[in-house]
């Protein structure tokens, strides 16, 4: 592989015009497709194999035209102090609002609070439900404006009016913090590479890669039903790995220049060595992201595949566009150890023999490996303790900032009707095979009323055929509570008994039940996912490192870092530690997708640093150095760059903490803290400590396996022979000319 990539690097350097034109044309093509594509909406949230999804599909079948997936809004009214919503003036204002909303172009139904039981017992709060023909993200802007205008008209009458539901749902914004993250990345690149131009290359090529990936996702969003957050997550991961991969190739190029090689040869060797590590690091990320499909949640599968595609583009750009732009840059990209004149350079570094920070740190670790190992493991173990209290759920209006109308509507409904009113359960009774469906409906309602934690059970609402009915159940506790989850399980247990006696099927659905089913499905999929992804990556790393213990150490280190990161997420977003600093206005359960998504993404990123760091160590070992000295040599050449790459990735991920979307905000924090733990504790401390303790045993591989495995030559060992042959050919040509 190293030889092939070496030739690819030289070709890209030499034919830079063709390569650059190809990528610019690809970016223009993707951009044109994105410009002409309809806007991305919310991906249809289906969870195959769950009871909630089965009930939802049954509703679509038995209640045609009911717009079961249509947007909903709850317009919540509160009377001024000392008044009631039943007062004539307030009642007239609500009636005017209902009439105004009923004339909306996409509205299918508006319930009158005074006819549908929408007034609280104390008479201070009322609500009107609005149902639309299309999902929230597909609503025309005119429909949203009409909803807001109706609420504003009601406010003019003196009422407090807020709007809940998904009708006002908008595409999340990442905010200016993302730009700050890129700015931090730029500063780190300048410090690391010692040149504004060299620092600009990874940023430029990463932006090109993310632009192609995000534009392609946007162009295909409507066709493939990609959600609005898909492109945000793809840009988050693509930008981080794109900068890192480019940084490693540019750094190796400068190192090759410092060895006295010509620029085209340096570009070829940089791609042949660092590029090999980029390929395998990228493969581990792609495996981890594509592996999310084993969960069988379509939205998560699409997010993973889209992000994996962006990572693949980043790898290809690092192998081709980077050497091409290095060709354009020429002598303005200086050898390692030299700075540009603008940064006070223009001369060789003064103290060439002085050990750098990476050398000094690695020397310290190999002298005290056991102490460093214990300190790192205990520290990460302590950070992981909060993960034992992990509670999973999906965000609702209760997790919105208190400044939003959705959150204020949520609080008003809780105040007037109880906390469980924001998470009603929908019980679907399929009595098609029953002799007396009406009696079955009544029996189901009566049995649910007898259960604990139930505030209200609405009368059954049958369909036109009379064989299927829905029953709305209001729990006593808030949607994300354990009591509500227990109630869902109790209803399902009672439904199983009813089916045995009558043949009728009882299913529980609704947003709350769907959240419970999603959490359970994700929990059940976590272990198979870990086995698949870690297993495949373990095999890949055996091929890369030609060792059993090094990949095993890499996997165990990853588990430590991801558990510590989950502990930090729980401490901030569930317990509320440092919540003000992180912009968390409301603590609560951790998003159900967070653990498995973090496992996938963090595993891929952790293996990035493992490959980049350990390949340098193995390269030194292969070239004859003793194990301890190989660790020091590997850190001498790679620690600075790996540290810079980690800081860049942390900065990019941290930028997404400023997003308006709670899911993106939490993922940004989780990935940033995971990279911090993995890069600076696991890879920089635990990895060299373990390698120092293992010594030569770290590179042990059974002879039969050594013969069976392909030699991918990540260290570029074959390039020495290749370069020697090339040099001999050049000498022969000179002799012929003489």
pLDDT tens sequence across 473-485? 999 888 878 888 8
User: Cα torsion at 560, 566, 571, 575 (round to 10°)?
Assistant: -140
Model confidence at 736: pLDDT above 50: no
Residue 203 pLDDT grade (very low, low, confident, very high; cuts 50, 70, 90): confident
**Strand pairing partners for 131?**
72, 109
Check residues 195 and 143 and name the one with the higher pLDDT. 143
Q: What is the mean pLDDT of residues 549-571?
A: 90
Model confidence at 687: pLDDT above 80: yes
Model confidence at 721: pLDDT above 80: no
Q: Give one DSSP letter per residue of 508-574, joined into a string.
A: EESHHHHHHHHHHHHHHHHHHHHHHHHHHHHHHHHHHH--SHHHHHHHHHHHHHHHHHHHHHIIIII
**pTM of the predicted structure, to 2 decimals:** 0.77
Check residues 89 and 179 and name the one with the higher pLDDT. 89
Portion of the chain with pLDDT greater than 90, in percent: 27
- Tell me what pLDDT residue 25 has: 94
Most confident of 623-627, 674-678, 728-732: 674-678
Model confidence at 716: pLDDT above 80: no
Q: What is the mean pLDDT of residues 527-546?
A: 83
Q: How far apart are the first and last CA of the chain?
A: 36
- Tell me what pLDDT residue 319 has: 94
- Give the pLDDT confidence of 490-526 residue by residue, as tens digits: 999 998 888 888 888 999 988 888 888 888 888 888 8
- Tell me what pLDDT residue 368 has: 93
Q: What is the mean pLDDT of residues 592-618?
A: 81
Residue 737 pLDDT grade (very low, low, confident, very high; cuts 50, 70, 90): very low
In angstroms, rounded to a whole number, what is the distance separating the alpha carbons of residues 328 and 322? Answer: 10
Q: Which of 185, 168, 190, 239 is nearest to 210 (CA)?
A: 239
Model confidence at 104: pLDDT above 60: yes
Residue 115 pLDDT grade (very low, low, confident, very high; cuts 50, 70, 90): confident
In angstroms, rounded to a whole number, what is the distance separating the alpha carbons of residues 478 and 413? Answer: 11
Report yes or no: 249 and 271 within 8 Å, Cβ to Cβ.
Answer: yes
Report yes or no: 251 and 193 within 8 Å, Cβ to Cβ.
Answer: yes
Report yes or no: 178 and 672 within 8 Å, Cβ to Cβ.
Answer: no
Report yes or no: 598 and 675 within 8 Å, Cβ to Cβ.
Answer: no
- Tell me what pLDDT residue 315 has: 93
For residue 473, which phi and psi values (nearest 5 degrees)?
-125, 125
Q: What is the mean pLDDT of residues 608-618?
A: 82
Let me know the angle formed at the C-alpha of 604 by 1 and 386, rounded to the nearest 5 degrees: 160
Residues 6+ apart with CB under 8 A from 254: 193, 198, 333, 334, 335, 336
Model confidence at 41: pLDDT above 60: no
In angstroms, rounded to a whole number, what is the distance separating the alpha carbons of residues 298 and 319? Answer: 32
- Tell me what pLDDT residue 366 has: 92
Residue whose entry in the numeric block shows the structure tokens 């439904």: 495
Average pLDDT score, the chain: 83
Model confidence at 343: pLDDT above 60: no
Residue 322 pLDDT grade (very low, low, confident, very high; cuts 50, 70, 90): very high
- Tell me what pLDDT residue 65 has: 63
- Tell me what pLDDT residue 326 has: 92
Residue 317 pLDDT grade (very low, low, confident, very high; cuts 50, 70, 90): very high
């Amino acid at each position: 592989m190293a030889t092939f990539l070496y030739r690819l690097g030289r070709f890209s350097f030499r034919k830079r015009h063709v390569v650059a034109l190809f990528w610019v044309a690809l970016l223009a093509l993707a951009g044109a497709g994105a410009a002409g594509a309809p806007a991305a909406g919310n991906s249809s949230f289906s969870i195959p194999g769950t009871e909630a999804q089965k009930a939802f599909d049954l509703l679509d079948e038995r209640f045609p035209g009911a717009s079961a997936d249509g947007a909903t809004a709850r317009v919540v009214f509160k009377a001024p102090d000392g008044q009631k919503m039943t007062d004539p003036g307030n009642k007239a204002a609500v009636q005017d609002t209902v009439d105004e909303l009923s004339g909306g172009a996409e509205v299918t139904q508006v319930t009158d609070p005074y006819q549908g039981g929408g007034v609280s017992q104390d008479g201070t709060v009322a609500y009107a439900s609005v149902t639309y023909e299309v999902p929230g993200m597909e609503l025309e802007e005119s429909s949203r404006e009409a909803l807001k205008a109706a609420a504003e008209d009601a406010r003019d009458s003196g009422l407090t009016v807020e709007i809940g539901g998904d009708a006002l749902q908008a595409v999340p914004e990442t905010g200016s913090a993302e730009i700050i993250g890129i700015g931090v990345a730029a500063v780190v690149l300048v410090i690391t590479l010692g040149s504004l131009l060299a620092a600009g290359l990874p940023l430029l090529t990463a932006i090109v890669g993310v632009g192609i990936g995000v534009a392609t996702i946007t162009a295909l969003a409507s066709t493939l039903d990609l959600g609005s957050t898909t492109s945000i997550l793809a840009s988050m991961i693509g930008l981080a790995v794109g900068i890192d991969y480019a940084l490693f190739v540019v750094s190796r190029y400068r190192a090759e220049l410092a060895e006295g090689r010509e620029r085209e040869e340096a570009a070829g060797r940089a791609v042949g060595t660092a590029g090999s590590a980029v390929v395998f690091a990228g493969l581990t990320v792609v495996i981890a992201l594509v592996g999310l499909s084993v969960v069988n949640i379509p939205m998560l599968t699409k997010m993973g595949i889209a992000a994996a595609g962006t990572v693949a583009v980043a790898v290809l750009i690092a192998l081709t566009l980077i050497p091409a732009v290095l060709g354009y840059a020429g002598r303005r990209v200086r050898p390692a150890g030299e700075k540009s004149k603008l940064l006070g350079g223009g001369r060789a570094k003064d103290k060439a023999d002085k050990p750098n920070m990476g050398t000094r740190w690695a020397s310290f670790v190999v002298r005290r490996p056991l102490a460093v190992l214990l300190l790192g493991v205990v520290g990460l173990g302590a950070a992981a303790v909060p993960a034992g209290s992990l509670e999973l759920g999906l965000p609702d209006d209760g997790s919105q900032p208190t400044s939003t109308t959705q959150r204020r509507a949520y609080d008003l409904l809780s105040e007037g009707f109880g906390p469980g009113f924001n998470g009603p359960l929908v019980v679907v009774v399929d009595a098609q095979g029953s002799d007396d469906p009406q009696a079955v409906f009544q029996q189901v309602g009566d049995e649910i009323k007898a259960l604990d934690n139930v505030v209200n059970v609405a009368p059954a609402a049958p369909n036109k055929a009379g064989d299927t009915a829905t029953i709305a159940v209001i729990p006593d506790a808030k949607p994300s509570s354990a009591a509500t989850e227990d109630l869902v399980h109790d209803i399902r247990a009672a439904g199983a008994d009813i089916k045995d006696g009558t043949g009728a099927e009882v299913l529980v659905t609704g947003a709350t039940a769907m959240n419970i089913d999603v959490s359970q499905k994700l929990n059940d999929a976590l272990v198979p996912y870990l086995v698949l992804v870690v297993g495949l990556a373990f095999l890949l790393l055996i091929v890369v490192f030609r060792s059993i213990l090094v990949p095993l150490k890499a996997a165990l280190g990853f588990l430590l870092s991801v558990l510590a990161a989950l502990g930090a997420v729980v401490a901030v977003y569930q317990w509320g530690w440092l919540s003000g600093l992180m912009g968390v206005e409301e603590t609560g359960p951790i998003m159900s997708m967070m653990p498995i998504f973090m496992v996938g993404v963090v595993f891929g990123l952790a293996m990035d640093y493992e490959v980049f760091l350990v390949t340098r160590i193995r390269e030194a070992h292969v070239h004859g150095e003793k194990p301890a000295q190989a660790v020091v040599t590997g850190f001498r050449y790679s620690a600075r760059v790996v540290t810079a790459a980690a800081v860049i990735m942390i900065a990019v991920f941290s930028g997404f903490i400023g997003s308006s979307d709670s899911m993106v905000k939490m993922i940004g924090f989780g990935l940033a803290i995971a990279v911090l733990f993995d890069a600076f504790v696991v890879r920089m401390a635990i990895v060299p400590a373990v390698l120092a303790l293992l010594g030569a045993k770290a590179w042990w591989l059974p002879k039969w396996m050594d013969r069976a495995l392909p030699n991918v030559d990540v260290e570029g060992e074959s390039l020495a022979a290749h370069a020697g042959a090339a040099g001999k050919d050049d000498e022969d040509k000179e002799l012929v000319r003489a």
